[in-house]
Structure 1
Amino acid sequence: MDELSASERIINELAQGVRGIDDGVAWFAGLSESERDAVLREVVLCISQAHPTAEEARASVARSGLKPTANPAVMIQRAPLMERVGRIAGLPADEHVNAFRLLVALFSIADTRRRETECRGQCGHFWHNLS
């Protein structure tokens, strides 16, 4: 199937720099709590497919713009990585925007590496060509 849901498209556009993070955060913040929960789960699925490294997790804190002491920023730096990513997505509603910023940053870093090393423009992932 060559279609993305609206939220999957936005997540991938954010990861590829097609859409700015401030626009993405404004969209995300305007969602209901249950919709934000669903989007965070979608970002986690995207991250799991990009296979992030611990180094990319550390780099995502800086890219996200979060203070290193923010809950999601502290959590992402502890192993095992994918377990922490899932816990970040499950943070309370008052942490959703910070979690979104961090998880999108992580996906962007890991997926960029994946596109540049594994895919190199030759993959069949239609979502890698959103521009």
Structure 2
Amino acid sequence: MAGMSAKGPYVHSSKEAEVMACQKAIEFSMEAGFARLIIEGDSLNVINNLSDSAKNRSLLGHIYDDIKSQLRGMHVLSFIWVKRCGNVVAHSLAKHARNLNDNMYWIKDTPPPAADALYHDSLHINE
């Protein structure tokens, strides 16, 4: 439905990068008018923390709380952990973002930097 490549602030860990990327994607999806989300990620810890209704007391707890607050208006919501081999599109868009000065968005169009990765992900969709 949509894709984006966006730079974020400096982060201290891959977990922080994953949760902040998720937050940015949710903000984008809400601005684009999507009411139904399926959130996939290859960090099991991040997916578990997002799907847990308990307050998160980790160093990243405030980000998890912000995300959960943003998601309160969504009609359908699923958090799904996927193997890294099934998340190639997200990684190709993140890699593309390293060379950007401004965020890039695609709606109802295949992001050119992820065309090959989209095909690769489709091969692993049922794993």
| Same fold, TM-score > 0.5, yes or no | no
TM range, smaller chain: under 0.3
TM, length-normalised to structure 1 = 0.26
- From the two aligned structures, give the one with the greater strand fraction: 2
TM, length-normalised to structure 2 = 0.27
